[in-house]
Amino acid sequence: VNLLLVEASEVEPNRAVRVADRRARHLLRVLRVTPGQYVRVGIVDGPLGQGIVERTSDDAVELRCTFDEAMPSRPPVDLLLALPRPKVLQRLWAQLAALGVGHIALTNAEKVERDYFDTHVVTPETYRPLLIEGLQQARDTRVPTVSLHKRFRVVVEDELDAQFGRGIRLVAHPNAPHGVAHQVSATHATRALLAVGPEGGWNAFERELLRSRGFLEAGMGPRTLRSDTAAVALLALVHDALRFP
Amino acid sequence: VNLLLVEASEVEPNRAVRVADRRARHLLRVLRVTPGQYVRVGIVDGPLGQGIVERTSDDAVELRCTFDEAMPSRPPVDLLLALPRPKVLQRLWAQLAALGVGHIALTNAEKVERDYFDTHVVTPETYRPLLIEGLQQARDTRVPTVSLHKRFRVVVEDELDAQFGRGIRLVAHPNAPHGVAHQVSATHATRALLAVGPEGGWNAFERELLRSRGFLEAGMGPRTLRSDTAAVALLALVHDALRFP
| DSSP assignments along chain A, one per residue | --SEEE-GGGB-TTSEEEE-SHHHHIIIIIS---TT-EEEEEETTS-EEEEEEEEE-SS-EEEEEEE-SSPPPPPSEEEEEE---HHHHHHHHHHHHHH--SEEEEE--TTS-GGGGGSGGGSHHHHHHHHHHHHHHHT---PPEEEEES-HHHIIIIIHHHH--SSEEEEEETT-SS-HHHHHHHTT-S-EEEEE--TT---HHHHHHHHHTTEEEEE--S----HHHHHHHHHHHHHHHHH--
CB contact under 8 A, B229 and A229: no
Hey, are the CB atoms on B233 and A229 less than 8 Å from each other? no
In this complex, the residue of B137, B139, B182 whose CB is nearest that of residue A244 is: B182
Global pTM reads: 0.94
Determine the residue of chain B that is closest to A183 in CA distance.
B244
Whether residue A174 has pLDDT greater than 90:
no
Do residue A137 and residue B180 have CB atoms under 8 angstroms apart? no
How many angstroms separate the CA atoms of B141 and A134, rounded? 34
- The model's pLDDT over A1-31, given as tens digits with 9 standing for 90+, comes to 789 999 999 999 999 999 999 999 999 999 9
Contact residues on chain A for B95, CB-CB shorter than 8 A: 226, 229
Separation between Cα atoms, residue B245 and residue B239, nearest integer Å:
10
User: What is the DSSP secondary structure assignment for residue B76, as one 8-state letter?
Assistant: S
Nearest-CB residue to A138 (from B100, B225, B236) = B225
Q: Per residue in A182-227, pLDDT tens?
A: 899 889 999 999 999 998 889 999 999 999 999 999 988 889 999 8
Q: Do B229 and A179 make contact, defined as CB atoms within 8 angstroms? A: no
What type of residue is B110?
E
Q: How many CB pairs under 8 A join A and B?
A: 97
Mean pLDDT of A42-55: 97
Q: Which of A204-218, B23-37, B152-166, B209-223 has the lowest mean pLDDT?
A: B152-166
Mean residue pLDDT of chain B comes to 94
Cβ A236–B237 below 8 Å, yes or no?
yes
User: What's the complex ipTM?
Assistant: 0.93
B228 CA: distance to closest CA in chain A (Å): 9
Mean pLDDT of chain A: 94
* Candidates A94, A178, A237; nearest CB to B237: A237
Shortest CA gap A204–chain B (Å): 19
Average pLDDT over residues B74-93: 96
* Cβ contact B224–A137 (<8 Å): yes
Q: Which residue of B has its CA nearest to A182?
A: B244
CA distance A184 to chain B (A): 13
Mean pLDDT over B215-232 rounds to: 92
Minimal CA separation from B153 to chain A, in Å: 28
